[in-house]
């Protein structure tokens, strides 16, 4: 007897009429037209069954703090960092936990079941670290939460000497934070940025941890810390375990230099996370016209064989006042900014918030295949491009074969002469 049988589903790779059989939290069979006794049977009615959305880049310690203590007037990264600095002394652990849990509710409802969140380690109290470790435990049965020790103010930039932030970061790792973060472009000098990349990669190598750095998040064509990140990755044997997040300076770099850089990044097996909603709003702020888009070179990175994922980065915080945990909205923006409009490129944008993002986190048992965890989302769309176009309703969200959330299908009743009684914005419906 199966625990769950999904029938008549479409899959991300284009297969239709597929059944997915689940026993004890795992997928045991994926086949067309399967019929077997099950505790629960779901007729997908031809809709798309997709593995859960994965957000490879988020800031859960800042989320839902919009307007506290004031609003970002300039809309720039730097005012956002200053604003976060004003908010930090006012934070309480209770409020941090409550806001993060509320965001996790939103995430589950949107089928977002794995999140890599950076957590600021520059406050010596490590209040946010304690709060997010507590949240990680609380949500463990429904969200895979991976924490990155993120020295927001720069690991070498501290006014009390360079040791302070390094020791805070090491303490956070001792407490159970999973990944080593950094922000080389925000260190005081370019040279210190380079030193920070080396120092942080060495800490990760010593501890056997992954690395995920905010890297070259500027419009400066000469900000080239990703080159150092690729170099240190290879020197320390960290291939496949290091992520460069943002990399917006690549947008503005010299094309010849990028042709060299792409090969170095591919050789180091770097992962790249672009954050389209944030990069399109924060970058190009110092331009008049024409204004640069500022997002990294997503299609070119993908063509070079580099794993590229899209992250949400921010929801209602000092940097971004919108968002709802909807990774299809993230992919939708990424597709537009990168002009990835071919059918295959649009499918790649959906991969960027599912399978590619899962690779960034190193998730085990991810996918709709026998042996994988029975984690999936039934969308109100028949294929990935339709899902992207409609930012489709998440009809049902499952984790380990258990229903976590469901949303009624989006249908508009029409009262028009000689026209259908309703529409779902799909051809043929």
Contact segment (CB under 5 A) with Zn ion among 4-12, 45-53, 313-321, 366-374 equals 313-321
Q: What pairs with residue 78 in β-bridges?
A: none
Q: Residue 246 or 399: which CB sits closer to Zn ion?
A: 246
Mark 263-302 with x for binding to Zn ion (rule: CB under 5 A) and - for no binding.
Answer: ----------------------------------------
Min separation Cβ 273 and Zn ion, Å: 9
CB of 259 within 8 A of CB of 309? Answer: no
| Sign of the dihedral through C-alpha 361, 293, 287, 223 | positive
Please give the order of strands across the beta sheet that includes 144-150.
53-58, 112-120, 144-150, 179-182, 210-215, 242-246, 271-274, 307-310
Please state the length of the chain. Answer: 429
24 part of the active site: no
Min separation Cβ 319 and Zn ion, Å: 8
In this structure, what are the phi and psi dihedrals at residue 93, rounded to the nearest 5 degrees?
-60, -40
Min separation Cβ 74 and Zn ion, Å: 18
Q: How many Å apart are CA 299 and CA 309, to the nearest integer?
A: 11
Q: How many Å apart are CA 306 and CA 269, to the nearest integer?
A: 7
Kind and range of the H or E run holding 395: strand 394-399
Min separation Cβ 145 and Zn ion, Å: 16
Distances in Å between the alpha carbon of 392 and those of 29, 94, 351, 399?
26, 34, 15, 19
Q: Residue 61 or 313: which CB sits closer to Zn ion?
A: 313
Question: Rule CB under 5 A: which of 97-116 touch Zn ion?
Answer: none
187, 217, 329, 386: which is the annotated catalytic residue? Answer: 217
Distances in Å between the alpha carbon of 359 and those of 155, 250, 355?
27, 22, 6
Min separation Cβ 202 and Zn ion, Å: 22
Q: Residue 313 or 386: which CB sits closer to Zn ion?
A: 313
Distances in Å between the alpha carbon of 75 and those of 279, 281, 363, 424?
11, 8, 34, 36
CB-based contacts of 428, cutoff 8 Å, min separation 6: none
CB of 251 within 8 A of CB of 219? Answer: yes
Size of the site for Zn ion (CB under 5 A): 1
Q: What pairs with residue 41 in β-bridges?
A: 5
Q: How many Å apart are CA 35 and CA 49, to the nearest integer?
A: 18
Contact segment (CB under 5 A) with Zn ion among 77-85, 163-171, 305-313, 419-427 equals 305-313
Number of residue whose CB is nearest Zn ion: 313
User: Beta 38-43 vs 394-399: how paired, if at all?
Assistant: unpaired
Min separation Cβ 384 and Zn ion, Å: 26
Q: How many Å apart are CA 340 and CA 25, to the nearest integer?
A: 36
Contact segment (CB under 5 A) with Zn ion among 31-39, 189-197, 248-256, 309-317 equals 309-317
Q: How many Å apart are CA 328 and CA 388, to the nearest integer?
A: 6
Q: What pairs with residue 373 in β-bridges?
A: 26
Min separation Cβ 30 and Zn ion, Å: 35
Min separation Cβ 183 and Zn ion, Å: 9
Q: Residue 57 or 347: which CB sits closer to Zn ion?
A: 57
Our CA angle for 192, 273, 78, nearest 5°, is: 50
Distances in Å between the alpha carbon of 198 and those of 192, 208, 238, 278, 360?
10, 15, 12, 27, 21
Active site residues: 217
Binding site for Zn ion (CB under 5 A): 313
């Amino acid at each position: 007897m199966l625990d769950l049988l999904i029938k008549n589903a479409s899959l991300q790779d284009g297969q239709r009429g597929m059944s997915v059989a689940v026993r004890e939290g795992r997928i045991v069979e994926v086949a067309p037209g399967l019929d077997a006794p099950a505790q629960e049977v779901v007729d997908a009615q031809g809709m798309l069954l997709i593995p859960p959305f994965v957000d490879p880049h988020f800031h859960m310690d800042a989320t839902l703090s919009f307007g506290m203590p004031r609003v970002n007037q300039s809309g720039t990264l730097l005012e956002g960092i200053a604003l976060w600095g004003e908010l930090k002394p006012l934070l309480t652990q209770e409020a941090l936990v409550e806001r993060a849990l509320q965001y996790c509710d939103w995430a589950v409802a949107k089928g977002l079941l794995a999140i890599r969140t950076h957590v600021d380690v520059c406050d010596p109290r490590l209040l946010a670290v304690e709060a997010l470790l507590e949240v990680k435990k609380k949500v463990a049965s429904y969200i895979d939460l991976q924490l990155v020790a993120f020295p927001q103010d720069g690991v070498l930039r501290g006014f009390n000497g360079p040791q302070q932030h390094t020791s805070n970061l090491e303490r956070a790792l001792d407490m159970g934070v999973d990944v080593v973060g950094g922000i080389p472009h925000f260190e005081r000098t370019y040279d210190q940025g380079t030193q920070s990349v080396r120092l942080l990669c060495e800490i990760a190598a010593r501890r056997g941890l992954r690395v995920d750095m905010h890297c070259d998040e500027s419009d400066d064509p000469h900000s080239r810390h990703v080159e150092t990140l690729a170099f240190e990755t290879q020197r320390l044997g960290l291939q496949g375990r290091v992520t460069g997040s943002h990399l917006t300076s690549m947008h503005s770099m010299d094309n010849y230099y990028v042709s060299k850089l792409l090969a170095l990044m591919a050789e180091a097996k770097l992962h790249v996370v672009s954050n389209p909603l944030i990069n399109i709003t924060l970058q190009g702020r110092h331009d008049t016209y024409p204004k640069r888009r500022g997002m990294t070179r997503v299609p070119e990175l993908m063509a070079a064989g580099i794993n590229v994922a899209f992250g949400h980065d921010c929801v209602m915080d000092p940097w971004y006042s919108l968002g709802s945990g909807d990774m299809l909205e993230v992919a939708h923006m990424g597709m537009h900014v990168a002009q990835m409009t071919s059918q295959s490129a649009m499918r790649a944008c959906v991969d960027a918030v599912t399978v590619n993002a899962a690779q960034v986190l190193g998730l085990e048992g991810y996918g709709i295949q026998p042996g994988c965890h029975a984690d999936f989302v039934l969308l109100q769309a028949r294929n990935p491009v339709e899902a992207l176009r409609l930012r489709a309703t998440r009809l049902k969200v499952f984790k380990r074969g258990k229903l976590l959330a469901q949303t009624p299908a989006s249908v508009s009743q029409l009262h028009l002469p000689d026209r259908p009684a309703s529409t779902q914005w799909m051809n043929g419906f």
